[in-house]
């Protein structure tokens, strides 16, 4: 029998998950801990293994090796029907032949809950996602955003210990997506429900999450808060995948100085001391401003983005920079010569 | 995968039915053909001029029927696939209704139409076009007409499917490049719908080989096709071994045609 | 220009296709005592002949219950078979696939005499359930083809969602999968019914003195061309029309599979 009415949200831990499909390695030793009540986003490109990870947690795939634990209990071999996990699928997977009410009531019926209780809980759930009054509609009569909310209601109505969302907003337009992101956040906070969110959209990850786990090629590249991920990425991949970046590589020649391939001397944070160490260097495009590192070059491309200018500058010493500036004045034309500067404190090394 | 309703278990009841009431009886019956270990019945079936003639007749009729069905079926399939949805629905009704109407009903109707005192002859004689009624029934012609009628829908449907699958962008491109309708048909539609044509032709041909009802009723005993002969050998002559030998020959030819067709299709698909 | 030629040609071909179906209508209402065209007047006599003749009614009723029994048996056996073929992963699946569709490929005359030979030994000639078994063999490929098409288009995510929400495999099947496959089930059942109702060749061998409707019609045609047959034909055409409408309304459209 599935656990009844788990009133508190669980913590989840996966250890050493391995999974291959034929020749393809989907997961290569993935371990992760998610605290109770946390919203963790798993961010990665397609093929990174994030969907496989979700399916293993939900129980639709069995790992070749490794363990999944909820509140310390090993559930790796438990069938999905007994895991008490709420899931929102990419294309919502609403039952087309059932009304909104019947869809949301489904998990409660599966748990043999009495009719009166079902009616009450379904009403509450629909209230929570602001779809009260839509209960007699069929899924095909609803818009994408409404279907999304029904899927959400159905996933939480039975008080699951864990909520999984598999790229749920892909099919929605931008404005709707932003609204739904905030709604999910609000709902999650209100219910205190441990949630795992899968996406390839790094902006979405930054908006929603407490922490982000960046995945690539079956491995977790970094798990950290959104700030950490953005400001202090751990490696090339994370730096490049999250946000725009200028990434270079070089060697420490003296404390506080990195010599880039190509000869450029870059003044960085003085805590960088180990001479001879090879490093990656990250400069976010919006961090250019005043500073002791000055680059002289020519504008190759200029794009007007309403809020800002995005410039591609070819520097005289061969470096190429992507620079974002607040949109003031006229957009610099290609060919214009420009100087940009960045403070050593704004440069991140990894 | 958790929701796998696979495995061979659900198939078992059906498999048992097919084994005991299909595979087993057929193999058992075919076994009669080698009575006492000798192949004399095959010798009789394939060696003697009389029976060999029946084989050729059957083949010949099947080929002619297939050719006519192709000629009539392609335009129909083409039209259905390229017309508006409203007309297409109507067109489909006129194809599906005959298809699902009992072969018996259709064959009977042809008897009514083609007889000496049948509809056609009556109209032609009364209209003064001819003085003597045409022999359209109880002969080769009648069987041909009847079989074409029954099998035409089987040609139309695969061709319809094939024409539908032709990318309309190709047609627009060809028109833009200045090709006439005839050219477009010859150079674009024909080659691309070849698989559908082929599939339809194979189906019609193989069905013709094994046809019973139409030749039996419209042939008046004069058009001896394989299936009719097999029935006679079982019901009248009670010569099971011979019927079995005939059946085996028919089956071998049928399977050979299908196998050749599959090989051809696969080769075609590769190019 | 060539388009118009096409339409004209096709109209002629359509006339050819529909002509036999149309011609039986006036014949069936003929007031003449024998086959005559054009009919001198209109009368219900042949329909009355049909309704008054216990043999005709008997044959019709038998065809009806044989058809219904065939439809039920073919669906009960064929649906699990289709599931196995589409979703199963076991060695020899390709062989099972061939066997399931084999009754379509093997000429019916061969199947007929084979089953006849076996049933004669088993004393099943003339028994209605013997006929049901043989008809089910013939109907299985239709059921499999229709159900397989429906299964292939089925969104497995719905079943996963149901399981994730706490449904056992059985409950998922009963509450989600089968209800959503209902159009395919309806089509499969109706096709199985019609294929049995119209079937002649097997019935010729197996029905014995207890005739099905097609067998009685066949015997009648061989012995005399009595316009009663026209009346029966008209009713059969109407029945097929009704079934096609039912398939269109409640079943899965036939147009998807061009076979």
Rounded (10°) angle between helices B49-82 and C2-28: 120
Q: How many domains are there within chain C?
A: 1
Q: Please check whether residues A279 and A198 belong to one and the same domain.
A: no
Q: What is the pLDDT of residue C148?
A: 92
Whether the pLDDT of residue C198 is over 60: the answer is: yes
Q: What is the pLDDT of residue A5?
A: 43
Using DSSP, state whether A322 is helix, strand or coil: strand
Please indicate, yes or no, if residue C121 is contained in any of the structural domains. yes
**Topology, domain B56-224:** MetI-like fold (1.10.3720)
A58 and C167 within 8 Å at the Cβ level: the answer is no
pLDDT tens-digit profile of A294-350?
Answer: 999 999 999 999 889 999 999 988 889 999 999 888 888 899 898 999 999 889 988
pLDDT level of residue C43 (50, 70, 90 thresholds) = confident
C165 and A93 within 8 Å at the Cβ level: the answer is no
pLDDT level of residue B41 (50, 70, 90 thresholds) = confident
Q: What is the pLDDT of residue A36?
A: 92
Size of chain B in residues: 271
Selecting from C10, C78, C240 the residue whose C-beta is nearest the C-beta of B100 gives: C240
Q: Please check whether residues A65 and A125 belong to one and the same domain.
A: yes
The Cα–Cα gap between B53 and B55 comes to: 5
Please indicate, yes or no, if residue C165 is contained in any of the structural domains. yes
Q: Please check whether residues A19 and A105 belong to one and the same domain.
A: yes
Q: Please check whether residues A225 and A248 belong to one and the same domain.
A: no
What is the predicted ipTM?
Answer: 0.85
**Separation in Å, CA of A80 to nearest CA in chain B:** 8
A97 and C164 within 8 Å at the Cβ level: the answer is no
Q: How many domains are there within chain A?
A: 2
pLDDT level of residue A39 (50, 70, 90 thresholds) = very high
CATH of the domain at C162: 1.10.3720.10
Q: Please check whether residues A219 and A287 belong to one and the same domain.
A: no
pLDDT level of residue A10 (50, 70, 90 thresholds) = confident
Please indicate, yes or no, if residue A301 is contained in any of the structural domains. yes
Please indicate, yes or no, if residue A7 is contained in any of the structural domains. no
Query: With pLDDT > 70 as the criterion, what percentage of chain B qualifies?
Result: 95
C220 is in which domain, residue-wise?
55-256
Please indicate, yes or no, if residue A4 is contained in any of the structural domains. no
Please indicate, yes or no, if residue A6 is contained in any of the structural domains. no
| End-to-end CA separation in angstroms for chain C | 31
Q: What is the pLDDT of residue B3?
A: 38
The answer, for C211 touching chain B at a CB cutoff of 8 Å, is: no
- Domain end, chosen from A186, A216, A236, is at A236
**Separation in Å, CA of C32 to nearest CA in chain B:** 14
- A35 phi/psi in degrees, rounded to 5: -80, 160
A343 is in which domain, residue-wise?
244-349
> For residue C67, which of C113, C124, C128 has the smallest C-alpha distance?
C128
Between C34 and A141, where is the model more confident? A141
The stretch B158-175 carries a mean pLDDT of 86
pLDDT level of residue A4 (50, 70, 90 thresholds) = very low
Please indicate, yes or no, if residue C218 is contained in any of the structural domains. yes
pLDDT level of residue C257 (50, 70, 90 thresholds) = very low
Is-contact A217 A28, C-beta < 8 A? yes
Chain A residue with Cα closest to C157: A93
Between C113 and B136, where is the model more confident? C113
Residues 6+ apart with CB under 8 A from C247: C186, C187, C190, C191, C254
Whether the pLDDT of residue C103 is over 90: the answer is: yes
CATH of the domain at A169: 3.40.50.300
pLDDT tens-digit profile of A235-281?
Answer: 889 988 988 889 999 898 888 888 888 778 888 888 888 888 888 89
Q: Please check whether residues A64 and A39 belong to one and the same domain.
A: yes
Q: What is the pLDDT of residue C182?
A: 92
Cα Rg, chain B, nearest whole Å: 23
CATH of the domain at A340: 2.40.50.140
Using DSSP, state whether B178 is helix, strand or coil: coil
Please indicate, yes or no, if residue A332 is contained in any of the structural domains. yes
- B200 phi/psi in degrees, rounded to 5: -60, -45
C163 CB neighbours in chain B (<8 A) are 2-3
Q: Please check whether residues A27 and A70 belong to one and the same domain.
A: yes
The Cα–Cα gap between C167 and C177 comes to: 12
The answer, for C5 touching chain B at a CB cutoff of 8 Å, is: no
pLDDT level of residue C49 (50, 70, 90 thresholds) = confident
pLDDT tens-digit profile of A111-170?
Answer: 999 999 999 999 999 998 999 889 899 999 999 889 999 999 999 999 999 999 999 988
String of DSSP letters for A263-302: S-EEE--TT---TT-EEEEEE-GGG-BS-SEEEEEEEEEE
Q: Please check whether residues A228 and A275 belong to one and the same domain.
A: no
Instruction: Break chain B down into helix, strand, coil percent, rounded to 5.
Output: 80, 0, 20
Q: What is the pLDDT of residue A19?
A: 93
> CA angle, corner B224, sides to B223 and B227, nearest 5?
130
Q: Residue with structure tokens 């044509």?
A: B197
Whether the pLDDT of residue A31 is over 90: the answer is: yes
Residues 6+ apart with CB under 8 A from A329: none
Give the tokens for residue A210: 């407490």
């Amino acid at each position: 029998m599935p656990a009844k009415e788990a009133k508190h949200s669980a913590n989840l831990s996966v250890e050493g998950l391995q999974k291959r499909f034929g020749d393809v390695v989907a997961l290569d030793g993935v371990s992760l801990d998610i605290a109770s009540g946390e919203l963790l986003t798993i961010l990665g490109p397609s093929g990174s293994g994030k969907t496989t990870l979700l399916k293993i947690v939900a129980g639709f795939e069995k790992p070749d090796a490794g363990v999944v634990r909820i509140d310390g209990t090993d559930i790796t071999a438990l069938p999905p029907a007994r895991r008490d996990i709420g899931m929102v699928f990419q294309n919502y997977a609403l039952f087309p032949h059932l009304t909104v009410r019947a869809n949301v009531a489904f998990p409660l019926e599966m748990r043999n809950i009495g009719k009166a209780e079902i009616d009450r809980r379904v009403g509450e759930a629909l209230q929570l996602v602001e779809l009260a009054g839509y209960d007699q509609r069929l899924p095909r009569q609803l818009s994408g955003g409404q279907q999304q909310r029904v899927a959400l209601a159905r996933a939480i109505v039975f008080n699951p210990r864990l909520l999984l969302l598999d790229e749920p907003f892909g099919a929605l337009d931008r404005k709707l997506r932003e609204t739904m992101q905030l709604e999910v956040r609000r709902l999650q906070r209100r219910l205190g429900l441990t949630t795992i969110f899968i996406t390839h959209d790094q902006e979405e990850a930054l908006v929603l999450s407490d922490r982000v786990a960046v995945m690539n090629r079956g491995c977790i590249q970094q798990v950290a808060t959104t700030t950490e991920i953005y400001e202090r990425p751990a490696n090339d991949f994370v730096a490049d995948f999250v946000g725009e970046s200028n990434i270079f590589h070089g060697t420490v020649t003296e404390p506080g100085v990195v010599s880039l391939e190509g000869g450029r001397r870059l003044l960085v944070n003085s805590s960088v001391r180990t001479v001879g160490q090879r490093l990656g260097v990250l400069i976010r495009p919006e961090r250019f401003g005043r500073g002791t590192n000055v680059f002289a070059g020519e504008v190759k491309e200029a794009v007007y983005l309403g809020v800002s200018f995005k410039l591609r500058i070819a520097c005289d010493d061969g470096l190429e920079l992507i620079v974002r500036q607040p949109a003031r004045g006229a957009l610099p034309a290609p060919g214009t010569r420009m100087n940009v500067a960045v403070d050593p404190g704004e440069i991140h090394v990894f | 995968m958790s929701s796998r309703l696979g495995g061979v278990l659900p198939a078992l009841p059906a498999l048992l039915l097919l084994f005991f009431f299909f595979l087993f009886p057929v193999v058992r019956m075919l076994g009669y053909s080698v009575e006492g270990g000798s192949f004399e019945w095959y010798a009789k079936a394939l060696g003697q001029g009389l029976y060999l003639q029946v084989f050729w007749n059957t083949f010949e009729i099947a080929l002619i029927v297939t050719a006519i069905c192709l000629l009539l079926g392609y335009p129909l399939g083409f039209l259905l696939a390229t017309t508006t949805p409203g007309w297409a629905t109507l067109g489909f009704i006129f194809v599906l209704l005959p298809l699902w109407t009992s072969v018996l009903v259709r064959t009977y109707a042809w008897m009514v139409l083609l007889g000496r005192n049948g509809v056609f002859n009556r109209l032609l004689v009364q209209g003064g076009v001819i003085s003597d009624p045409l022999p359209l029934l109880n002969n080769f012609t009648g069987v041909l007409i009847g079989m074409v009628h029954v099998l035409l829908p089987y040609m139309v449907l695969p061709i319809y499917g094939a024409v539908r699958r032709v990318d309309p962008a190709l047609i627009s491109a060809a028109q833009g490049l200045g090709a006439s309708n005839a050219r477009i048909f010859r150079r674009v539609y024909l080659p691309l719908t070849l698989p559908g044509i082929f599939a339809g032709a194979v189906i019609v041909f193989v069905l013709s080989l094994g046809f019973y009802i139409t030749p039996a009723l419209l042939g008046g005993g004069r058009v001896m096709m394989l299936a009719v002969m097999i029935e006679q050998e079982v019901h009248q002559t009670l010569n099971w071994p011979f019927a079995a030998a005939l059946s085996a020959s028919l089956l071998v030819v049928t399977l050979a045609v299908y196998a050749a067709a599959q090989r051809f299709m696969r080769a075609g698909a590769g190019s | 220009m060539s388009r118009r030629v096409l339409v004209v040609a096709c109209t002629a071909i359509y006339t050819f296709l529909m002509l036999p179906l149309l011609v039986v209508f006036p014949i069936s209402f003929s007031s003449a005592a024998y086959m005559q065209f054009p009919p001198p007047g209109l009368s219900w006599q042949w329909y009355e002949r049909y309704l008054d003749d216990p043999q005709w009614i008997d044959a019709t009723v038998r065809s009806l219950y044989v058809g219904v029994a065939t439809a039920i048996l073919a669906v009960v056996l064929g649906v699990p078979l289709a599931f196995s073929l589409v979703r199963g992963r076991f060695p020899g699946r390709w062989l099972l696939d061939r066997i399931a569709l084999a009754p379509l490929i093997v000429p019916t005359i061969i199947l007929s005499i084979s089953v006849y030979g076996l049933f004669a030994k088993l004393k099943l000639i003339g028994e209605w359930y013997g006929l049901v078994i043989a008809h089910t063999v013939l109907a299985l490929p239709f059921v499999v083809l229709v159900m397989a098409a429906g299964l292939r288009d089925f969104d497995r995510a719905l079943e996963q969602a149901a399981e994730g929400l706490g449904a056992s495999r059985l409950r998922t099947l009963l509450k989600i999968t089968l209800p959503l496959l209902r159009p395919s089930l309806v089509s499969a059942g109706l096709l199985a019914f019609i294929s049995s109702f119209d079937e002649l060749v097997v019935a010729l061998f197996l029905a014995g003195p207890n005739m099905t409707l097609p067998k009685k019609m066949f015997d009648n045609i061989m012995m005399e061309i009595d316009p009663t047959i026209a009346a029966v034909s008209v009713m059969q055409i109407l029945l097929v029309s009704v079934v096609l409408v039912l398939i269109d309304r409640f079943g899965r459209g036939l147009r998807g599979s061009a076979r």
